[in-house]
Structure 1
């Protein structure tokens, strides 16, 4: 998880509900991306009348799906913790559906909630019977309330605001009571609009530009709601039910199921371009190197797609104003088929004649999300030479399941990619390896087991307890290792599930050091159930359920559930456990323990840790970058804890000036000390939402963000180097920490 700047706390809270938009649009950086904004005139966009995509009633397939999901989640043969759909659970579903629609309590009033009260006890019956009218009725009121609020927000833009008062905008209303009436909501929204205006004013925008920007922003919010379809509402409602069962059970429509599977496999069949919404257009955000779009030599970042045609002669379909996932569906297709795309070049105006490109679709490997390596040199210290530490950054435990079935010798796999990088390290005189699992949310259980097997010489990796109580042991059964030298695993609060299995196993085996923050705490197993398998449908109709079927336990017996993996060497916590992680879910499974299973103990670092802590503390006391990071963490957490921002211009300007001065001072110190410069040091809050920035510049900024100094990774490499040095110098300690055993060699060799 990246630490946000304080400016990020000032972002617009009057947003479309994440639970709906995240499901209705394609996830970022698969092949199609999320909205950004054209800088030209948009009066036609603002004034354009749009028709609703929401049907008057659920479909027959949705009715059937609701019954099927109920049958699945109420059956202990499938669900790890089945819950009867009684009055209590019905009330929980009701609460979660309202949270999905209006979690920040900025649209509904207390009077609306009172009118919904009769549904509280009946939603269970509705799900069982497939009568989804209550969900549609609540959403219809919600859509009207959004329209009312947006209309009010836009009307406020006609006036000027007084920023000399001592008002505060409380942007976090999750625990606040529902507004009593529309007048109370008016007051809340007025402060939010004032905040939006003030951010743009502080960024140097003039009143006319501010009015135009915010009017467009609010109109786009309305459009996002208007574009929601019945499948979006249905998915959000069913996920209110699945989420009441446990935090990691989800329902996917056929479209979102397809996207999820592509994420897991890191591959898809298409043109190899990341797309995002930009006003009425879907534009190119990034072109995948080596993909069909790149090889065409015609498309560029910022080009806007206006029409799509299938094959050599299929009719061109105008896609201006379409939802991004609908455009995705037109562009993606089977390998070796052709697609024709009409587009407006980035340098052309909206009235220019579109250009056309014909592209043959191919299978695209999403290399950006695959394992990557680099080498860090840890400086000489304590009379020992400099150490070359190989770093492998693994963002997910991905596997192309279908590819593995078709060709077990050639498929996308996290383990296969890491093994290849380790083999390269062996030719590069590497002293140790750091596996960076920060923000790795997990993925394939098989990959977690196989990856552990690269570092241990056979043995159990994780225990899995099913709903009936039976415990199975998933083990690495392949003899030999890919890396037998010093190892460290870097984790943070965003490291979850498969990441915790791997880190926990490495820790239990004493195979390596675990460094960083306590991990997320997700210790449950999910499986995908295809609802179309029972009727044996030729085409996807009912979607899929990601269902919790078991719980993980480490080989030492403790669960990763709730508590996570605690590092051997801890860095300051970037987020509080009450803000992010398994412990924030009100229905998370508790931590528990079962019996340990026999496993090799390659080492026990307990006796070494005090020395490593001492060396670590001495080094970071002199490490400016690490100190700055810790300072930013502390400031962010203090700012986030306030849950409000001032609407006084003098106060906010002073805060802004202080942040800018801090960035400039740090950059000057970096330059004076010969440190790597921060490529984003000159960036400040521009007051814009992500979909309002110039797409070309914003894409370039994303690339620069990857080059920012990373003091945590550098310090992890230094800690591993310390361990190698200390054990190399102290043979008695080495014998205690790393007793002679079969398997990986001693770190002191």
Structure 2
């Protein structure tokens, strides 16, 4: 027996050594590419070591209830200031050590959870709980492990009980039976979550690679072959799909919301709207929805490498049943450009650009820019008097498409200046002479308008070609490319930031965002993560340029219209109410909370406060002055030929009718036309 055990130990050491060598090999390949190609390379030193160590430990144990303080202190002492040296020395055994400690922590946590599951919980003991917005120090010791988890679970159970009814007296009257159900569900899910982490085939290597990359900037990232394929596919409006959409219900169950009649899910003949997804399998690994993270479930469903998926479904509390689905290439309607006509007499065109998608197969006519051009041509057949381009929540995409699109709305001249890591400047010129549309334009932007969409909107702003309406954008003015770490194997890739781009004025919106001409509030604007929130984001700067360009109209005209718009909206109840609700959101999300008693009454009151806020948000609407939204003549004809698209078309129309941002954009275009 001892011999067998010794052989096992030796084999394990050899495996860890092999894994360690491969891990260091990839990290050093990443470093070579970064030091050569990155727009702002940094040395591998203690600063990188601290960043990578802290982020890796926070990722593994964000709630500080897995690692003992003694284990953390040991890792801190050995690695926090030493990872840089170990990586450069090709000694990555530290990851195996951290992973082993993490696994041991999960195993002992599982044992404690199973013990708590079989014992009654004391809800009478006086205790309090505090919520932290940021990570807090490690404190867990062996003697307090069960106490810490009992406290965490007690809160979770009471919180779940508080959600069962709006009547506190009713909850108290039925507390015993409700508690039994809640406790069983929460403990089962926690144990299942631990089992999922223990059984997962994924390793910590990718986390390590990505924390190493994001030390240089937030947008440099490691890609495996699978993650690279999924990322590239996300830039297209056509990709492998199950042909259905899902949402979360109030119990955090994943429910099938819509099924595309042209998609593979519908063609199985077994799936119906309202079915609950119990588990997802790629036939190598199965994830239970109740205990796996939403991120891991989403990754399994959306990954381009998982062409075949087995869904375990439940219908109307009946028995579970399995459905095998083979994905097919489908058009992503939610990621495709679409247009409408606003108004009946003085018609104004509206074009929504969800992202700057590009064609994967090299067909230049399938990209976002050409799709927008086609919609403009359709709208012009109805003699529109102005155009609204909606970039709200457009997270960017292909810079090539953004350049093409900007060129269609600018007559001629420079569009941007690109600077590389050697500080060489190159000018991006308008690829097209002339304009596809000559009328007034309003561009809608918000906090989630990022990257390529910021690039596009800033060009139209600098040329006085459009008035920007909305809120400050994210603040990303860098460009990335994907490079192979080993051209022979082609299994590991790096998405790396190679350039910074500047406006034709020499200024940049990197870190600070594009400021609209008319600033309007939006929900969650103090919660959305901006570029400036990332600790390794590249800071804002400017360059000296001597570019010649001809603005479309005089700036004072746009400034005058923007001032009139701001005065018009100063007393607007809709936007003023958003400001009030945002203050409440800020208090809940951003303001540090005081301790609350660990009692049903206190947690019920907390739940009511949060639920009241969500009710304010979800029932909030602008019923005043509904807009007249219709399809262009051409699109109306196309709907007759493709009737399956009528459902999503009507959904889009209904959303736009009471859109206050579009309402003000119409007012601005009307004023622009009258001022001419």
Query: Do Structure 1 and Structure 2 share a fold, with TM-score over 0.5?
Result: yes
Given that 1:561 and 1:590 are in contact with CA atoms closer than 8 Å, whether structure 2 keeps it comes out as yes
Pairing 1:51-200 to 2, within 5 Å after superposition:
56=16, 59=19, 61-75=22-36, 78-116=37-75, 117-149=77-109, 151-152=111-112, 155-156=115-116, 158-160=119-121, 162=123, 167-174=128-135, 176-179=136-139, 181-182=141-142, 189-200=149-160
Q: Give RMSD over aligned pairs.
A: 4.2
Cα deviation for residue 145 of structure 1 reads 2.4
Relative distance call for 1:705 and 1:252 in structure 2 (3 A) is: farther
Q: 1:305 touches 1:319 (CA, 8 Å); kept in 2?
A: no
2:331 aligned partner: 365
* CA distance in 1 between partners of 2:124 and 2:340 (Å): 49
2:223 to 236, 239, 252: 252
| 1:395 aligns to 2:340 (yes or no) | no
User: Cα distance 1:512–1:591, how it changes in 2: closer, same or farther (>3 A)?
Assistant: same
- The 10-residue stretch of structure 1 (60-69 or 485-494) with the greater mean CA deviation from structure 2: 60-69
CA distance in 2, matches of 1:707, 1:165: 54
Residue by residue over 1:185-214, the C-alpha shift from the partner in whole angstroms, topping out at 9 and shown as x without a partner, is 766655543432233222216212211321
| CA displacement, residues 566-619 of structure 1 (integer Å, 9 cap, x when unaligned) | 111112365567972121222222211112322221124445545544544444
1:635 is aligned to 584
Q: How does 1:489-638 map to 2 (within 5 A)?
A: 489-533=443-487, 535=488, 537=489, 540-541=490-491, 543-572=492-521, 574=523, 580-596=529-545, 597-606=547-556, 608-609=558-559, 612-619=562-569, 621-623=571-573, 625-638=574-587
Q: Is the 8 A contact 2:469 2:665 kept in 1?
A: no
Contact 1:70 1:127 in 2 (8 A): no
Distance 1:304 1:591, change over 3 A: closer
Cα distance in 2 for residues equivalent to 1:276 and 1:61: 39
What SS does the corresponding residue of 1:265 show, helix, strand or coil? coil
Structure 1, gaps ≥5 residues long: 1-54, 310-316, 334-338, 378-384, 677-701, 731-747
Which residue pairs with 1:35 in the alignment? Answer: none
Distance 1:588 1:126 in 2: 26
Q: What's the secondary structure of 1:438's corresponding residue?
A: coil
CA contact 2:69–2:138 (8 Å) conserved in 1: yes
Trace 1:270-285 onto structure 2 (pairs within 5 A). Answer: 272-273=243-244
Q: Give the TM-score normalised by the residue count of structure 1.
A: 0.71
> SS at 1:528's partner residue?
strand
Instruction: Tell me, yes or no, if the aligned pair for 1:164 and 1:650 is still in contact at 8 Å.
Output: no
Q: Secondary structure at the match of 1:245?
A: coil
What residue number does 2:409 align with? 455
Label 1:601 to 1:166 Cα distance change in 2 as closer, same or farther (>3 A).
farther
Alpha-carbon offset, residue 141 of structure 1: 1.4
Tell whether 2:199 aligns with 1:238.
no
> Which residue matches 1:20?
none
Report the CA distance between 1:233 and its aligned residue: 1.0
Report the Cα distance in structure 1 between the residues aligned to 2:404 and 2:66, rounded to whole angstroms.
48
Give the TM-score normalised by the residue count of structure 2: 0.78
Task: Check whether the contact 1:376–1:717 (CA below 8 A) recurs between aligned residues.
Answer: no
SS at match of 1:403: coil
* SS at structure 1 position matched to 2:157: helix
What residue is the counterpart of 2:379 in the other structure? 425
Residue 235 of structure 2: SS of its match in structure 1? helix
Structure 1 residue 440 and structure 2 residue 408: aligned?
A: no
Task: Label 1:420 to 1:438 Cα distance change in 2 as closer, same or farther (>3 A).
Answer: same
Correspondence 1:203 to 2:152: no
TM-superposed CA distance for 1:166, in Å, is: 8.1
Aligned residue number for residue 681 of structure 1: none
Deviations 1:706-737 (A, max 9, x none): 899679x833333333333334444xxxxxxx
User: 2:245, 2:258 within 8 Å by CA — same for their partners in 1?
Assistant: yes
CA deviations 1:303-334 (Å, max 9, x no partner) are 7699999xxxxxxx68655875668779855x
Separation in structure 2 between the aligned mates of residue 497 and residue 620 of structure 1, nearest angstrom: 30
Residues 94/521 of structure 1: CA separation in 2 closer, same or farther (3 Å cut): same
Structure 1 residues 636 and 82: alpha-carbon distance in aligned structure 2, compared to 1, 3 A threshold? same
- The answer (yes or no) to whether the contact 2:522–2:578 under 8 Å persists in 1 is no
Determine the C-alpha separation between the residues in 1 that align with 2:453 and 2:190: 39
Whose RCO is larger (CA < 8 A, sep 6+)?
Answer: 1
Query: What is the aligned length?
Result: 614
Would the alpha carbon gap of residues 600 and 669 (structure 1) be closer, same or farther in structure 2, given more than 3 Å must change? closer
Is the contact between residue 44 and residue 84 of structure 2 (CA under 8 Å) also seen in structure 1? yes
- For 1:89 and 1:658, how far apart are their aligned partners in 2? 42
Q: Secondary structure at the match of 1:74?
A: helix
